[in-house]
Structure 1
Amino acid sequence: METEKYPALMRLMHWLMAITILGLIGSGWFMASLDPEVATYKYDIYFWHKSFGVLAMLLIVARIAIRLSSKHPGITESLPSFDKALAKLAHLSLYLLMIAVPVSGMLMSEFGGKPIPFFGLLTLPEVIENNKEMAGTLHSIHIFIPYVLLGIIALHVLGVLKHRFMDSPEHDSLKKML
């Protein structure tokens, strides 16, 4: 049976992930732009960025588990086929990128021999041998894919706004997530 709104836990996870992801992208841009000669606190930001990155990874795993085990509204049947296909592609892309960004950062740190802290509670164990070349490749990937993720997020938001303000009321997907 289709429900009108997403369950409260799914809505909470959606908005928590949105805030976390946008915060991580913003902090990543900020810390990367700082000159270490001037900004002595630059590497303090890495601690928080990595900690929230681990949190994002844990949240996406929990989000997938919650999504798979919960009843939730499907895509509105009366939407045109093209819109349904775009929505499915956007959601799949979002989930893949929400996994790929923190995984690439964690692997980059692992191959670079850099610790991965989790809010001072623990440091993830080093399980991969140092490989500076692989760390460099993963660094390039980790810098690039957040732009792709941000682009997909922008398309997701534009799609939601289109359905909210330009389509018929039964296509309003925002009301399902508020």
Structure 2
Amino acid sequence: MSTTKPDGYSPAAKWLHWLTAACVFILVPVAFTMVRLGEGALTNALYEVHKSVGIIAFLIVAVRVVVRLTRGAPPPEDGLSPFERTLSTWVHRAMYVIVFAMPILGFIGTSMCCAPVNLFWTIPIPITFTGSEETTGRILGIHKVLGFILTGLVALHLAGVLKHVFISRDGVLRRMLPGG
């Protein structure tokens, strides 16, 4: 783990952030849609997209955690209040935990009930888990609850971004923009 604080986010950290965000912005609407549709080809396709993007998100987040642990992160912006620093720290920590845990739980639950899990209809993921219908339901239930929590945290994160762009007019967003 890095003990020194870098001056800014590395290009890798910035791109991994935006790739994670893109995955979340695909996964959440697809999840909300697929569970509301009845049986059929569209529902099956949405589940396949959700599982595949979830696998990709997990890989991105795993690399992101390694980058964060080895490179570190810059200190919070000077103009943040103690409340903003604390809130930002805990929201980011919670999002890291959830975006790491959700794909694992989703994969385990799905492989228990609906193996094989394939990457975009083609590449089977050879790891499978077994468990009772009750265990599968619990795991996928936790996955679902984490999805709602993540949605709330992302909304809070975006509210913070908007506050910094339109009210504070400081450089917080520029720190995470590629080339910024």
**% identical equivalent positions:** 28
Match of 1:26 among 29, 33, 43: 29
Question: For residue 172 of structure 2, what is the aligned residue in structure 1?
Answer: 173
Cα distance between partner residues in 2 of 1:14 and 1:2: 17
Question: For residue 99 of structure 1, what is the aligned residue in structure 2?
Answer: 100
Q: Report how far residue 113 of structure 1 moved.
A: 4.6
Q: Check 1:40–1:113 CA distance in 2 against 1; reply closer, same or farther (3 A cut).
A: closer
Question: For residue 17 of structure 1, what is the aligned residue in structure 2?
Answer: 20
Question: For residue 157 of structure 1, what is the aligned residue in structure 2?
Answer: 158
Runs of 4+ deviating beyond 6 Å: none
1:112 counterpart SS class? helix
Cα distance between partner residues in 1 of 2:61 and 2:122: 20
Cα distance between partner residues in 2 of 1:163 and 1:100: 29
Q: Report how far residue 2 of structure 1 moved.
A: 4.0
* Structure 2: runs of 5 or more not aligned: none
CA deviations 1:4-47 (Å, max 9, x no partner) are x42221111111111111101111111111111xx333212222
Q: Over aligned residues, Cα RMSD in angstroms?
A: 1.9
Count of aligned pairs: 173
Cα distance between partner residues in 2 of 1:26 and 1:52: 12
Question: For residue 87 of structure 1, what is the aligned residue in structure 2?
Answer: 88
AA at the equivalent of 2:10: P
Question: For residue 61 of structure 1, what is the aligned residue in structure 2?
Answer: 62
Cα distance between partner residues in 1 of 2:44 and 2:28: 16
1:59 counterpart SS class? helix
Answer whether contact 1:110 1:130 (CA < 8 A) is retained. Answer: no
| TM-score for the superposition, normalised by structure 1 | 0.87
